[in-house]
Structure 1
Amino acid sequence: MENRHIHQDAEATAVAVLGWLASEPDMLSRFLALSGVRPDQMRQAVNDPGFLAGMLDFLMAHEPTLMAFCAATGTKPETVMAAAQRYSQPTLGSGEI
């Protein structure tokens, strides 16, 4: 049950990051350029845990960006870190264990 709660929190955080990036055109452009994802691919990419992990890593890689997101959304940096760890961990179905 706790694992499900962690997954829901990570997903909610990832959705919040995506929403924030969408409201920050310069930041979104930078993320898209670094990730190689085209704007028309984003709708499909949000279902990919690797995309979400990359988006969270992008946010955490630059402290001022992380702090801007946290200030704008009332999210704690630790919450973003936990979500990033959740998406970057191998899962049983991934074949990475």
Structure 2
Amino acid sequence: MKTIEIAEAREALGQYAGHGENLPLVVTDRGRPVAALLAVPNGDLETVSLSTNPAFVALIERSRERQSREGGVSSQEMRRRLKNAPNQGIKRDKQ
């Protein structure tokens, strides 16, 4: 991990991101962390957006807690069920 004081950050963001060799890069303001630049291997915009959304993270945590308390269907079992489910697509009349 590398740190840089915000007052000393003179390069363009792309220069700091580079190819990820020096990531994560923590930006500080008078020694206090205020931002971080991280590599996102195998990530996409939707995943990054959702994983940094506090409301979404809270929803997932509540769901996990309820699953732990009350039980339910595992993700593996749900995938199996969906794979074996009959096609419920919309049937269109031929015109």
* Same fold at TM > 0.5: no
Give the TM-score of the pair, scaled to structure 2: 0.25
Radius of gyration: which is bigger? 2
Q: Which structure's residues are more often helix, by fraction?
A: 1
Give the TM-score of the pair, scaled to structure 1: 0.25
Q: Which structure's residues are more often strand, by fraction?
A: 2
